[in-house]
C-alpha cells in the first residue's frame, strides 16, 4: 500500500508499557485506547501498537478495539511485528523490526494493500526495505534516546540525509530523540515525516504537538533547501 498523505507524515508509536499481565480491563490497556482516540482529531497519519509484551490474545483484542476506533478516519493502524494479528484484527498493516520476517515475505503473504513499515538503522537496511516492497521506513535513532540505546549510537542527520537521497521518493521517517526543537533539522535533511513515542505520548497535548510539527515543516519548506 503506497502512502498518499501529504507531508509531513506523523507516526505515533505507543510506549509499550503494557505487560504479559495486562488484560483488556487494565489501566494501561485503556490508556493506550485513550491515545488511539486522540489520534484522528490530532491529524496523526500512522499509529503503531508497539505493545511487545502483551499476550497474543490481548494484543488481538487491543488491535480489534483500536481498529474500530480508527475506522473511517484518516489514521492508519499498524501492529508491531505481528502481521497475523494485524490482519486478523482489522489493522491496516504491520511494522517490522530488525528481527522480524522480511518485508517481501509479508508482502507476498498479505497482498498489495497491506501497509508495511520497517525499522531501519543503516543505508543498506533502508535500501532493502524499499526493494522488498515496504510502504515506508523509519530511520534511526537520529538523536540520542534511551529507548533506542540497544541499536547503538545515533545515526545522525548526515546519515539521514544520505539515506533520503539514496531511496528517492520512498517515504523515510526520522525516529529517535525527535523533539519540537530538532524536528526542523530532520525536515531539512529531507525526512518525509517523523515518528516518535515520547513526543506523542500525552493525548491531552497531542493536537498542539502535531499542529506545531506541521508548522515547523511548513516553515522549513518556506525557508528553502538546506544550505
CB neighbours (10 Å) of residue 204?
Answer: 8
d(CA 191, CA 31): 30
Q: Cα separations (Å) of 130 from 41, 125, 162, 214?
A: 30, 9, 15, 25
CATH of domain 9-222: 3.20.20.70
d(CA 18, CA 98): 21
Please answer whether residues 206 and 42 qualify as being in contact, where contact means their C-beta atoms are separated by less than 8 angstroms. yes
CA–CA–CA angle 8, 77, 184 (5° rounding): 20
pTM surpassing 0.75?
A: yes
- The reported pLDDT for the residue numbered 145 is 73
- The reported pLDDT for the residue numbered 4 is 73
Cis peptide bond upstream of 106, omega within 30: no
- The reported pLDDT for the residue numbered 126 is 96
Consecutive 10-residue runs of the chain (227 residues): their mean pLDDT? 80 98 98 98 98 98 98 97 98 95 97 97 95 96 72 85 93 96 97 97 98 96 65
- The reported pLDDT for the residue numbered 150 is 59
- The reported pLDDT for the residue numbered 21 is 98
Amino acid at each position: 500500500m503506497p502512502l498518499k498523505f501529504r507531508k509531513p507524515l506523523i507516526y505515533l508509536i505507543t510506549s509499550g508499557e503494557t505487560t504479559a499481565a495486562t488484560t483488556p480491563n487494565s489501566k494501561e490497556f485503556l490508556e493506550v485506547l485513550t491515545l488511539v482516540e486522540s489520534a484522528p482529531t490530532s491529524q496523526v497519519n500512522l499509529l503503531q501498537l508497539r505493545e511487545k509484551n502483551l499476550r497474543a490474545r490481548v494484543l488481538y483484542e487491543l488491535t480489534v478495539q483500536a481498529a474500530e476506533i480508527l475506522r473511517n478516519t484518516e489514521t492508519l493502524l499498524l501492529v508491531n511485528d505481528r502481521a497475523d494479528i494485524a490482519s486478523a484484527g482489522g489493522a491496516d498493516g504491520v511494522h517490522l523490526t530488525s528481527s522480524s520476517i522480511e518485508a517481501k515475505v509479508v508482502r507476498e503473504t498479505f497482498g498489495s494493500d497491506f501497509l508495511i513499515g520497517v525499522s531501519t538503522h543503516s543505508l543498506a537496511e533502508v535500501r532493502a526495505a524499499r526493494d522488498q516492497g515496504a510502504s515506508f521506513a523509519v530511520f534511526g535513532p537520529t538523536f540520542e534516546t534511551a529507548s533506542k540505546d540497544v541499536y547503538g549510537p545515533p545515526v545522525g542527520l548526515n546519515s539521514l540525509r544520505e539515506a533520503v537521497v539514496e531511496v528517492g521518493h520512498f517515504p523515510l521517517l526520522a525516529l529517535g530523540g525527535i523533539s519540537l526543537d530538532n524536528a526542523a533539522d530532520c525536515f531539512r535533511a529531507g525526512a518525509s515525516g517523523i515518528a516518535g513515542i515520547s513526543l506523542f505520548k500525552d493525548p491531552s497535548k497531542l493536537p498542539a504537538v502535531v499542529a506545531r510539527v506541521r508548522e515547523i515543516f511548513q516553515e522549513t519548506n518556506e525557508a528553502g533547501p538546506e544550505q
